[in-house]
Structure 1
Amino acid sequence: MGKHRPNAPQWVWYTFGGKLPAHLAEWVLHDVTCRTWVLRHLLRALTQLAPFCVVVLLLPGPLHIRLSSLALGLLVGLFYSISAMGESCEHRVIKHGYPPGIGRETRAMYREVRRATRNETRRRRPPE
């Protein structure tokens, strides 16, 4: 990954679907292909859901109804976000100039490298 990362306003813009400057394209590819890409996606989803959560909490009514509405809204929002996770990440890298399928292929390549490294480490370990 390059040394460039988005600042806070750029990251929020990116989280809500905006395009980052060209010098951050490598970071976008890293963001959707690194080992923690699922956690990063969930963090983006929670950031997108945060304004709705604030609105629900500010509505008048009993607190238990607002909290249960908030919990249900978060569950539904996260469910849909997780169900479209791969496509969403692919859309992000395509938007930043990469060819279609590069995110999925890069994640598969990283997975194979980690698996091979793990197997090699196991083979080199002396028997106990």
Structure 2
Amino acid sequence: MGTRRPNALQWVWYTFGGKLPAHLSEWVLHDVTCRTWVLRHFLRALTQLAPFCVVVLLLPGPLHIRLSSIVLGLLVGLFYSASAMVETNEHRLIKHGYPPGIGRETRAIYRDLRRTARDEARRRRGWE
């Protein structure tokens, strides 16, 4: 991956569905295909849900009602985010100029490489 990363404002824009400049498209590919892509997806989802949580927290009413509303809202929001995780990430890649399906293919290649390296390490330990 290149060393270029989005700054904080660009990342927030990207998180809410915006398109990053072309020089950051390699970072986008890394973001949705690296080993921690699922955690990154949920971090983006939580960032999108945060403003709603703040609004609910500022509403009048008992604190326990507001907090339980936030927790339930987060659970529902994260559930829907998880259900569309792969498609959302593919859409991000397409928006940044990559062909459809490249995210799944890249994750599969990385997974196979990690599996091969792990098997090689086990084999070497077995021979020593």
Shorter-chain TM-score category? over 0.9
Structure 2 unaligned regions, length at least 5: none
Unaligned runs of 5+ in 1: none
Separation (CA, whole Å) in 2 of partners of 1:125 and 1:67: 51
The within-5 A match list for 1:1-128 is 1-126=1-126
Identity %: 84
- Secondary structure of the structure 2 residue equivalent to 1:120: helix
Whole-angstrom distance in 1 between the partners of 2:126 and 2:96: 46
Amino acid at match of 2:114: R
Q: Once the 2 structures are TM-superposed, how far is the Cα of residue 3 of structure 1 from its aligned partner?
A: 1.1
Aligned residue for 2:18, secondary structure, equals coil
**What is the RMSD of the two structures over their aligned residues, measured on CA atoms?**
1.0
Deviations 1:49-98 (A, max 9, x none): 00000000000000010010000000000000011000000000000000
Deviation at 1:127, TM superposition (A): 6.3
